[in-house]
Structure 1
Amino acid sequence: MPRRLAALLLGLLLVLLPAAAEAFVWARSSDALTLDPHVANEGPTVALLQNIYEALTERDRAGRLQPLLAVSWRMLLEDPAVWEFKLRDDVFFQDGSRFSADDVVFSYRRAMAPSSGFRDYLASVVSIEKLDDLTIRIRTRGPSPGFIDNTQAIAIMSKAWAERNGAVLIPGDAASEANFAHEHANGTGPFALVSRQPQIMTELRRNENYWNRRHVALGIGTLIYRPIPQPGARVAALLSGAIDFLQDVPIQDLPRLRAQPGLTVTSGVENRTIFLGFDIGSSAPRGTRAGGRNPFADLRVRRAMNIAIDRDHLQRVVMRGEALPSGIIIPPFVNGWSRELDTPPPFAPGQARQLLAEAGYPQGFSTTLYCPNDRYVYGEETCRALVSMFGRIGIRVTLVSQSQAAQSKALAQTPGPDLFLAGWGAPTYDSEHVFSSLYHSRDGRRGAYNATGYADPRTDALIGEISSEIDHGRRDALIARLWQKLRGEQIYLPLYHQMLSYAMKDAYDIPVDVSNMPKFKLVAAPAR
């Protein structure tokens, strides 16, 4: 069936599907991978689950850290390797049980498991203990001033609920249906799970006993989440009135939606950079034909590919202005960013061909690029443009377009894909998170999302120094030093910082959340 026809039919189907009365329907391009809050550190999954589960802290729409389940915290003066948290005493889980320190201790230990996608956030943690029902202490491997920024990522589960339902451990296959938490949920958040049909619909209802209800709008009674992979179908569903809020707006439709009566479009810069990664660790990547060698292990090849990318073309033509060309894989508001680091290399295909010849590939080579087709704004279109750019310097690329679910599984493997497109944000707004997740060797604590095979003892040691340095000036100097080192090694090729646009019925006003995690508890009911 042609893609255009399929999109139109899906749009019609969405109009006909029943929805709960007075429901607010939220659509985006891909579904959450799981309902288990400690499995997948992946955008759509976290965006959905933040409505059900909560952490000790949270980021507001502008990215500022705020208290949530914790009312206060401090690094102990007598022992700066220990953080102490005071917890709220008026919080209940959605099953009616009371929240306490036991749940925090349980959740943090669970999130530290080898199968957790969030273990990088807790890589510095040595122990967590309960002092009383409303006080916990977390000990880190030496002073860790940046640890507080990681607490917004660790969702708190009910210990009793997990024990009662056999969900204490995360299965080795994190998406296994044997894990009760994969399709069931019980958090302290503003919405509770009603039903879930993966890839079709997830229905949440307002938590009428939400502890923070007096301080948030909480104007949505029923929140329905619908993944719609096809861009045309998403827009058709919004125009028909079948959905209220569209998160992943196709770029080509922005002018039309901005001019459409009855709709509102909000825009802003996202905390996310899109980049390419390589398998540099294998002797001969599986989908690459280069005379039995791994071309990506050669810095000259990586440099050649970097300057073969026409980032201005990606910005102007592919992304239609909705992107900022980048030279580093953190956006401007993350600690460690500088204009110098973020200046992309000049487009120089002639020099790129010379570098390939110097590396022993005068005729180029063939490889495979793995690209998610339902995750990033114009991600697949970006990949197609890259295939053409690399072809001009003799690198023949086969494009494998796949779902984000399949891409995530591939990136979790060792070795990872030969060549891959990915995106990353820094939810801590600090470079240490990016270093720990993407550059540190995979050691069971850090490097969970390092699919490149890159493992350098000096890099690992610098990351360790950064995590424990309490002097802000020295710490920033270490971060700058490591970025200079990594920028020279070109383990990843930054493409652009992603822009965001949301489209919605004009009864609502939902500004862009810089982390692309719209907070529906802040949405007021539409005026009658």
Structure 2
Amino acid sequence: MQKTIAAIAVLMASTMLVGHANAETVRWASSFDALTNDPHSQNSGRTHNFNRHIYDPLVGRDLDGNLVGRLATDWYLKDGDDTVWVFELREGVTFHNGAEFTAEDVVFSINRAKSENSNMRQLHADVVEVRAIDDYTVEVQMSGPSPLYVNNVTNTFIMDKDWAEENDVIDVQNYAAGEENFAVRNTNGTGPYVLVERDPDVRSTLQAFDGYWGETPQVTEIIWLPISDPATRIAALLSGEIDFVQDVPFQDIERLSQTDGISLVTGPENRVSYFGYKVSEEPLASSNITDVNPLSNALVREAIHLVVDREAIRQVVMRGQGTPTCTVAPLRVNGWREEYHECAPVDIERARELMAEAGYEDGFTITLDVSNTAPNHEVIGQAVVGMLGQIGIDATLASRPQAQHSPVVVTGETDFYMLSWGVPTFDSAYIFNDLVHSRTGSYGTYNPSGYADPEIDAMIQSLGVETDIEVRDATIAAIWDEIHDYRLLLPIHNDPLAYAMREGFNIAVHLENQPSMTTMTVE
């Protein structure tokens, strides 16, 4: 609450100084802040969204999800060797400090992104070597044929190698350990905006970079204001203190759509919200059952799936928004299947029978960890707590800001948690690598469940180098069969999106919820 009050106080002060913001300035309210400015530390959508205005990847995606060139102008498999990706780089690009962008920066950045502390490392797990052929050509040697690797680089941002060395940020920030480095609050990218002010969780200011290689954006200044309280965000929009709200509370969509002076746009997001839990044999830290883990019992996991009413969550909590689902694969992802998208009917009596068969007729206690700044996660968590109570599972809700919630999951210090997962590669392997594969090497970063199956791990790793599409799709289907039958995760819905802005500001909903102020128009 103190952070929210501070943000509003700063905002009001700036508003009094300048009156209405200039047409080229956008005051952007988000429900929570980027976790860090170290571009290779956290694989977080909001963090990528903020950093994307400062840094560029080699390849990006347009509003329809199509691959488009950024710092690379062309990319292809090397003639005669399908284990090597070639990236031809854009010439004449400079970093914000004036340094020239060259192939050595790409080599440095990919190697940094695949290093131990990076949450981006699973995307580059099959990379054996990155080499500069000349100043504007890079070859990436893969461990085998990797026809889809280019899909993995859309959120890997390119740093200035010399700047990183000068400021002792060759190594990636160890976020889970609470480490700070110079790149956490300081930046030097090739992107359209320069970071000029950074007060985490309060206020950040970005200004258009005069030397940007792309088109000059109409928005020349961004004031980024994390405001966790939904009512405060909307009140600031209605009062004219905010121009653009990224996270519109779903209970406010109908009202805002009928409010003069406010424009509202909605659409689906390439993301699923889900619950996960410990399934290993070790007893849960937060449960009154101290000799075994109740969630390691398949009957208990099936009971949980049968008692969670996703349609009720959509109608009551989400105000009719979102699409209930029983798969963590968003609709447009390769490997999505209708039969796993559809959920079995809610059956409380059968769920109670399963609990009794498992030996937990009287239920058990557990702590549910959720983010209170991720949109609607806390209220969805409250709803699920009530549903679980119907079969004797007494869940205590523990909510904390996203910056504290994410490390709880990554370090495995949770028995039961909620997250949402986007899929920027539009391929199931991205889900499997982080959420299903055991925690080994570059894999399993967001899998605190304890689930580990060597056969499934091998199948997942094979997806990175399999060139026969039919064989690869069959492997994906087999992995989904295992995940669904095992009830490894508890999906809730495909996430909806809603943006609201003052009249005169225009931006389309981005499929990955990565709105770029370079695409905003101001009348």
1:513 CA displacement: 0.3
Letter of the 1:503 partner, please give it. Answer: A
Q: Which residue of 1 aligns with 2:513?
A: 516
Q: How does 1:51-62 map to 2 (within 5 A)?
A: 51-62=53-64
1:96 CA displacement: 0.6
What is the DSSP-based 3-state SS (H/G/I as helix, E as strand, rest coil) of the residue aligned with 2:341? coil
Letter of the 1:69 partner, please give it. Answer: L
Q: Distance in 1 between matches of 2:8 and 2:122?
A: 39
Q: How does 1:253-272 map to 2 (within 5 A)?
A: 253-272=252-271
Q: Which residue of 1 aligns with 2:302?
A: 303
Q: State whether residues 45 and 422 of structure 2, in contact with CA within 8 Å, keep that contact through their aligned partners in structure 1.
A: no
Q: Which residue of 2 aligns with 1:482?
A: 479
Letter of the 1:385 partner, please give it. Answer: A
Q: How does 1:419-438 map to 2 (within 5 A)?
A: 419-438=416-435
What is the DSSP-based 3-state SS (H/G/I as helix, E as strand, rest coil) of the residue aligned with 1:115? coil
1:184 pairs with 156, 170, 186, which one?
186
Q: Which residue of 2 aligns with 1:252?
A: 251
> TM-score, normalising length from structure 1?
0.95
Letter of the 2:143 partner, please give it. Answer: R
Describe the shift of the 1:8–1:317 C-alpha distance in structure 2 as closer, same or farther (beyond 3 A). farther
Describe the shift of the 1:177–1:293 C-alpha distance in structure 2 as closer, same or farther (beyond 3 A). closer
What is the DSSP-based 3-state SS (H/G/I as helix, E as strand, rest coil) of the residue aligned with 2:171? coil
Q: State whether residues 192 and 204 of structure 1, in contact with CA within 8 Å, keep that contact through their aligned partners in structure 2.
A: yes
Q: Which residue of 2 aligns with 1:493?
A: 490
Alignment gaps of 5+ in structure 2: none
Q: Distance in 1 between matches of 2:268 and 2:180?
A: 39
Letter of the 2:482 partner, please give it. Answer: K
1:76 CA displacement: 2.2
Q: Distance in 2 between matches of 1:183 and 1:439?
A: 32
Q: Which residue of 1 aligns with 2:341?
A: 342
Percent of residue pairs identical: 38
Q: Which residue of 1 aligns with 2:381?
A: 383
Q: Distance in 2 between matches of 1:348 and 1:333?
A: 29
Q: Distance in 2 between matches of 1:174 and 1:389?
A: 32
Q: State whether residues 145 and 466 of structure 2, in contact with CA within 8 Å, keep that contact through their aligned partners in structure 1.
A: yes
1:73 CA displacement: 1.1
What is the DSSP-based 3-state SS (H/G/I as helix, E as strand, rest coil) of the residue aligned with 2:153? helix
Q: State whether residues 7 and 232 of structure 1, in contact with CA within 8 Å, keep that contact through their aligned partners in structure 2.
A: no
Q: Distance in 2 between matches of 1:281 and 1:499?
A: 32
Q: Which residue of 2 aligns with 1:467?
A: 464
Q: State whether residues 112 and 172 of structure 2, in contact with CA within 8 Å, keep that contact through their aligned partners in structure 1.
A: yes
1:14 CA displacement: 3.4
Q: How does 1:43-82 map to 2 (within 5 A)?
A: 43-82=45-84
Describe the shift of the 1:174–1:318 C-alpha distance in structure 2 as closer, same or farther (beyond 3 A). closer
Q: How does 1:364-383 map to 2 (within 5 A)?
A: 364-376=363-375, 378-383=376-381
What is the DSSP-based 3-state SS (H/G/I as helix, E as strand, rest coil) of the residue aligned with 1:400? strand
Q: Which residue of 2 aligns with 1:241?
A: 240
1:397 pairs with 392, 395, 400, which one?
395
Q: Distance in 2 between matches of 1:84 and 1:431?
A: 24
Q: Distance in 1 between matches of 2:179 and 2:393?
A: 41
Q: Distance in 2 between matches of 1:6 and 1:42?
A: 21
Q: Which residue of 2 aligns with 1:119?
A: 121
Q: Distance in 2 between matches of 1:87 and 1:13?
A: 41
Q: State whether residues 267 and 509 of structure 2, in contact with CA within 8 Å, keep that contact through their aligned partners in structure 1.
A: yes
Q: Deviations over 1:429-468 (max 9, x none)?
A: 0101001111111112111111212111111111122221
Q: Deviations over 1:23-53 (max 9, x none)?
A: 2111111011111100011121111000000
Q: How does 1:269-288 map to 2 (within 5 A)?
A: 269-281=268-280, 283-288=282-287
Q: State whether residues 288 and 365 of structure 2, in contact with CA within 8 Å, keep that contact through their aligned partners in structure 1.
A: yes
Q: Distance in 1 between matches of 2:349 and 2:171?
A: 54
What is the DSSP-based 3-state SS (H/G/I as helix, E as strand, rest coil) of the residue aligned with 1:236? helix
1:17 CA displacement: 3.7
1:341 CA displacement: 1.6
Q: Distance in 1 between matches of 2:223 and 2:291?
A: 51
Q: State whether residues 176 and 182 of structure 1, in contact with CA within 8 Å, keep that contact through their aligned partners in structure 2.
A: no
1:16 CA displacement: 3.6
What is the DSSP-based 3-state SS (H/G/I as helix, E as strand, rest coil) of the residue aligned with 1:504? strand
| Count, aligned residues | 518
Q: State whether residues 74 and 85 of structure 1, in contact with CA within 8 Å, keep that contact through their aligned partners in structure 2.
A: yes
Q: Which residue of 1 aligns with 2:41?
A: 39
2:108 pairs with 94, 106, 109, which one?
106
What is the DSSP-based 3-state SS (H/G/I as helix, E as strand, rest coil) of the residue aligned with 2:154? helix
Q: Deviations over 1:168-214 (max 9, x none)?
A: 1124346756410000000000000101001110100001110012x
Deviating more after overlay: 119-128 vs 15-24: 15-24
Q: Distance in 2 between matches of 1:115 and 1:13?
A: 34
1:345 CA displacement: 2.0
Q: Distance in 2 between matches of 1:323 and 1:372?
A: 19
Q: Distance in 1 between matches of 2:177 and 2:55?
A: 18
1:416 CA displacement: 3.6
Q: State whether residues 118 and 173 of structure 2, in contact with CA within 8 Å, keep that contact through their aligned partners in structure 1.
A: no
Aligned-pair RMSD on alpha carbons?
1.8
1:102 CA displacement: 0.3
1:84 pairs with 83, 86, 103, which one?
86
Q: State whether residues 15 and 237 of structure 1, in contact with CA within 8 Å, keep that contact through their aligned partners in structure 2.
A: no
1:252 CA displacement: 1.1
Q: Distance in 2 between matches of 1:266 and 1:15?
A: 26
Regions of 4+ moved over 2 Å: 5-23, 171-178
1:113 CA displacement: 1.1
What is the DSSP-based 3-state SS (H/G/I as helix, E as strand, rest coil) of the residue aligned with 1:24? strand
Q: State whether residues 284 and 290 of structure 2, in contact with CA within 8 Å, keep that contact through their aligned partners in structure 1.
A: no
Deviating more after overlay: 229-238 vs 68-77: 68-77
Deviating more after overlay: 278-287 vs 420-429: 278-287
Q: Which residue of 2 aligns with 1:332?
A: 331
Deviating more after overlay: 117-126 vs 49-58: 117-126
Letter of the 2:520 partner, please give it. Answer: V
Q: Which residue of 2 aligns with 1:200?
A: 202
Q: Distance in 2 between matches of 1:456 and 1:258?
A: 49
Q: Which residue of 2 aligns with 1:289?
A: 288
Q: State whether residues 8 and 233 of structure 1, in contact with CA within 8 Å, keep that contact through their aligned partners in structure 2.
A: no
Q: Distance in 1 between matches of 2:95 and 2:3?
A: 41
Describe the shift of the 1:181–1:375 C-alpha distance in structure 2 as closer, same or farther (beyond 3 A). same
Q: Distance in 1 between matches of 2:373 and 2:116?
A: 27
Q: Deviations over 1:482-519 (max 9, x none)?
A: 11111111110111111000000121111110100001
> TM-score, normalising length from structure 2?
0.96
Q: State whether residues 14 and 237 of structure 1, in contact with CA within 8 Å, keep that contact through their aligned partners in structure 2.
A: no
Describe the shift of the 1:242–1:420 C-alpha distance in structure 2 as closer, same or farther (beyond 3 A). same
Residue 312, structure 1, aligned to residue 294, structure 2? no
Letter of the 1:28 partner, please give it. Answer: S
Q: How does 1:212-251 map to 2 (within 5 A)?
A: 212-213=214-215, 218-251=217-250
What is the DSSP-based 3-state SS (H/G/I as helix, E as strand, rest coil) of the residue aligned with 1:254? helix
